[in-house]
Amino acid sequence: MRPMLLGEMTPETLMEELGTSPSKALAARRLAQLGMPTRKSEAYRYFDIEPLMAHDWEILRNEASAEIAESEEQIVITDGRVTALPKGVEVQVGCSDAIDLDGNHFDPLYYLGHLLSPEVISIRFKEDAKVTLVHRFTQPGKLLAYRTAIYLDANTHVQIDERFEGEQACGALILSGSDVFISRDATLTLIKDETLKEGDYVPILSHRIKVDSQALCRLHSFDFGAGSGLQLIRVQLHEHARIDADHLLYATDHARRGTVSQIVHIGQSSVSNQRAKNILAEKARGIFDALIKVEHTGKYTKAHQNSKAILLNDGAYMASKPQLEIYIDDLEASHGSTTGQLDEAQLFYLRSRGIAKEEARKMLILAFANELIDALEDERMRERLHASFETAYWGVTNVTCMETCHGCEDLAAGTAAK
């Protein structure tokens, strides 16, 4: 395929290029309505999308690998192709016609991603599972587009630990993301951990998450480092459905990084709880541009949204826009946003006990981040994310048991009893 200037593409030329199918036609129509992203696009108003759109991309095309390794608990997708699978997880690779596209996504690149993806990697969970989903990128400087779809059958409880490996893919643009379908009474815990260095690939991850009646989605995103990237998430909540979404961002250098989201309460008595914590250093810009929308049908909804940011340097900046759009009266809703510096009184207290300034700052930053790390139920995940955060912030990790576990009380009690 010839190189593509995304900014100059039209849905028509894309259709010509890519052939037609019903879901591609829908994607093309929606893309035409939304238009290719520019500086003026709602979804990208705080993210510097234009250089990416103006770049002459070579699209990465991989042949399906014949070899799919069997793994313990990892699903590995390398450059958009499944390369390893655990036993018992059903994965189908098929064209995007097989999936039910979101006809109302706000993100044009959700549709462009679908248009450019040769097929969709569908992962279906029929029973409870804990898996690791590794996205591996190996090709520098190219555009990689692929989509995944995740299905949870009714009543299943699944934890997905999503990781990214892309040291070799510097300068690449990744247009990806998942269409997630959580059936009745099912629970999905999705933990995303992505640390980017400056010059790494740029991920634009565009998701849609459909939470059926009485189903629960727990979303924990951990975005760290000096590289740029954006996650765009549209959530649909049906009757008695619930989402708890936590976003911890630590961005430094010239990173532009964050979350653009839309949570739509469709069914009554649905619940959303979204918390963002943002730590911004050097000249980084954090983005939390989040809308909660309660439809006429969303009676007795509870919707809470909060964003807190700490700016560690004068050049750091937080674009925080929590918004509520409500079409009914019968609901409980709140939203708020604060941006500030490290608390001087707290810093002084620690230093007055002999703790060096840098160490004291680190303790306070960790304390700020801890709330969202400690919200992870899985203790091993908590430890891993503590270590990830420390490594991103400090360069090394020396997480000790006292920072992460709460078993020390037992230890203290045990040793004192002797």
Partner 1 sequence: MSNVVMEIENLHARIGAKEILKGLNLQLEEGKVHAIMGPNGAGKSTLSKAITGHYDVEVTEGAIRYKGQEIVDWEPEDRALEGIFLSFQNPVEIPGVNNAYFLRTAVNAKRKHQGLEELNAAEFLREMKALVQELGMKPEMINRSLNEGFSGGEKKRNEILQMMMLQPDLIILDEIDSGLDIDALRAVSEGINKMKDGKRSFLVITHYSRILDYIEPDYIHVLKDGKIIKTAGPELVAELEEKGYGAIEEA
Cα separation of 47 and 256, whole Å?
A: 6
In whole angstroms, how close is the CB of 372 to partner 1 at the nearest point? 10
- Cα–Cα dist 135/77, whole Å: 5
CB of 414 to partner 1, least distance (A): 9
Q: For residues 61 and 406, which CB has a smaller minimum distance to partner 1 in the complex?
A: 406
Supply the minimum distance, in Å, between the C-beta of residue 244 and partner 1: 19
Residues binding partner 1 (CB under 8 A)? 343-346, 348-357, 359-360, 363-364, 366-371, 400-403, 406, 408-409, 411-413, 415-416
CB of 357 to partner 1, least distance (A): 7
- Would you say 64 or 402 has its CB closer to partner 1? 402
CB of 98 to partner 1, least distance (A): 45
For partner 1, give the closer residue by CB, 334 or 346.
346
With tokens 């006292």, the residue in question is 402
Cβ at position 148, least distance to partner 1 in Å? 34
User: Whose Cβ is closer to partner 1: residue 59's or residue 405's?
Assistant: 405
Specify the pairing of strand 81-86 against strand 74-78.
Answer: antiparallel
By beta-carbon proximity to partner 1, the closer residue of 66 and 415 is 415
**Closest to 372 measured CA to CA, from 155, 195, 219, 264:** 219
Q: Which is nearer to partner 1, 296 or 418 (CB)?
A: 418
Closest contact distance (angstroms) between CB of 279 and partner 1 is: 13
| Nearest residue (CB) to partner 1, 324 versus 347 | 347
**Minimum CB–partner distance for residue 370 and partner 1 (Å):** 4
Question: Least distance (Å) from partner 1 to the CB of residue 348?
Answer: 6
Residue 362 to residue 245: CA distance in whole angstroms? 25
Q: Please write down the long-range contacts of 30-37, taking CB distance under 8 Å and 24 or more positions apart.
A: 30/103, 30/105, 30/108, 30/111, 31/108, 31/111, 31/112, 31/115, 34/106, 34/107, 34/108, 34/111, 35/108, 36/6, 36/7, 36/9, 36/108, 36/112, 37/108, 37/109
Least distance from partner 1 to the Cβ atom of residue 392, Å: 18
Backbone angles phi, psi at 363, to 5 degrees: -60, -40
Nearer to partner 1 by Cβ, of 66 and 416: the residue is 416
Return the C-alpha torsion angle 148, 151, 157, 160, nearest 10: 0
Closer CB to partner 1, 5 or 356, in the complex: 356
Q: Which is nearer to partner 1, 350 or 387 (CB)?
A: 350
Backbone phi, then psi, for 160, in 5-degree steps?
-115, 125
